[in-house]
Amino acid sequence: MAAHTGTGQTPGPAVTDTTPAAVLDVCFVSETWHPEINGVTHTLSQLVEHLHRHGYPLQLVRPTPDDGSHDARMEHELHVRALPVFDYDGVHMGGVMPGTLREFWRAHRPDVLYIATEGPLGMVAVRAARQLGIPMVSGFHTNFDFYSQHYILLRMVRPFVRSFLRRFHNKTAITLVPTQRQATRMHDNGFQRVEVMGRGLDPTRFSPEFRSSSLRQEWHAGDDECVALHVGRLAVEKNVEVLIGTLEALKAAHPHQIAVIVGDGPLRAEMEKRLPWAHFAGFKRDEQLARYYASADMFLFPSRSETYGNVVIEAMASGLATVAFHYAAAGELISDGHNGVTIPLDNNAEFIERATQLAADPEAVRLQGQRARQRVLELSWEKIGVLFTHYLHEAQEVKDA
């Protein structure tokens, strides 16, 4: 099956501009959920909000959250045992017996499942759904093949990761991925029924209008000084060594260089020691995060583990000149030297060099930031929501055929 493109940038499957009239009872299965902060929960929250707004009855199966809370948008919610992930703080997997899921779905049978994670909970959900004849759509939200290079538990099973993922996703009616490049790669590796569903953006939420002179004063940044920003988890899989090297090179070339790092993670303490002059802000959300983006000038994103990279389009919408590797969102949305800078994957030295060159050219930073915002204004969560419902209905129709 040829992979379609449904990112909003190039033609995709023929879907209407409104959500289908017939609603489905949709159950989400995920080992991560709001209020956890990551790209998966952000995307899932947007998809849920779209379905909820259009009157879809919703269910959720997830590990028990620390506070035991329930998502108010769900008509039914099942909490399963939360299993900590060795050497990855703050992340849990879900432990549940197939019979528990079968009992839950017999009592509240959904029309279709969306399985967002491939952990133990996802595996059991696939098994139980197949036994009950419930159609499934799966999402490829995490680059396990890359993560398995860095974490002990995943490293032990790395030789089997790709074959496991292929078997897992091929048991579902459709697998949704965020970029055409990834869809092509997966299709070439034996993944079946792969479709592209990109990511959206609310351009009113992230905008240069939120630029704050008071916040820049806190950073001791003058009007003409280039503030370099990074937003993300501070962990080994995010390629923070290149981030550190880039900021050190910027500081050496421009002694008054200002750097702001938003996020947290296991490497934060080490980074604070190596970059004592940088501003470490911790996690920021909503309006605060928008202010941090808009008050900077250049966005550094050296991660090579993303399936998409929501922070890239958030930075672009905020008017920042972004430096990133040429893949995922950056590979699809950034034209090198026009609305940002992209570097061939794995060329860490060029990443540092190009970032240093850009910081030395304030006019290029300004122009690339302006063009970046224009490039992402066409993105819309409403379009992505319509595409998502299209695939949910398609899975249901295949099952009924």
pTM over 0.75: yes
For the ranges 30-39, 147-156, 194-203, 253-262, the lowest mean pLDDT is seen at: 147-156
C-alpha distance from residue 39 to each of 141, 154, 222, 312, 331 (Å): 8, 20, 32, 11, 17
Q: Identify whether residues 394 and 344 lie together within a single domain.
A: no
For the ranges 90-104, 164-178, 202-216, 306-320, the lowest mean pLDDT is seen at: 90-104
Q: Identify whether residues 195 and 262 lie together within a single domain.
A: no
Indicate which CATH number applies to the domain containing 246.
3.40.50.2000
The reply to whether 292 falls in a domain is: yes
For residue 222, how far is the Cα from the chain centroid?
33
Number of domains making up the chain: 2
Q: Identify whether residues 287 and 157 lie together within a single domain.
A: no
The reply to whether 394 falls in a domain is: yes
Q: Identify whether residues 118 and 105 lie together within a single domain.
A: yes
Q: Identify whether residues 225 and 351 lie together within a single domain.
A: yes
Q: Identify whether residues 140 and 264 lie together within a single domain.
A: no
Q: Identify whether residues 142 and 277 lie together within a single domain.
A: no
pLDDT per position as a tens digit, 163-219 = 888 999 999 999 999 999 889 989 999 999 999 999 999 999 999 999 999 999 999
The reply to whether 21 falls in a domain is: no
Range of the domain at 128: 26-200+380-400
CB 50 within 8 A of CB 114: no
Q: Identify whether residues 64 and 167 lie together within a single domain.
A: yes
Q: Identify whether residues 181 and 329 lie together within a single domain.
A: no
Confidence label for 148 from pLDDT (cuts 50, 70 and 90): very low
Q: Identify whether residues 229 and 317 lie together within a single domain.
A: yes
Q: Identify whether residues 222 and 160 lie together within a single domain.
A: no
Residue 397 CA to residue 277 CA, distance in Å, equals 58
User: Would you state the pLDDT for residue 395?
Assistant: 95
The reply to whether 50 falls in a domain is: yes
Residue 238 CA to residue 115 CA, distance in Å, equals 25
The reply to whether 13 falls in a domain is: no
The reply to whether 293 falls in a domain is: yes
Q: Identify whether residues 142 and 44 lie together within a single domain.
A: yes
150 pLDDT above the threshold of 70: no
Residue 384 CA to residue 373 CA, distance in Å, equals 19
Average pLDDT, the chain: 89
Across-strand partners of 93?
83
Best CA proximity match to 321, nearest among 362, 275, 379, 262 = 362
Confidence label for 91 from pLDDT (cuts 50, 70 and 90): low
The reply to whether 152 falls in a domain is: yes
Structure tokens given for 260:
């702001």
Residue with tokens 């034996």: 190
The reply to whether 1 falls in a domain is: no
User: Would you state the pLDDT for residue 126?
Assistant: 96
Confidence label for 12 from pLDDT (cuts 50, 70 and 90): very low
pLDDT per position as a tens digit, 367-381 = 999 999 999 998 999
Residue 61 CA to residue 74 CA, distance in Å, equals 10
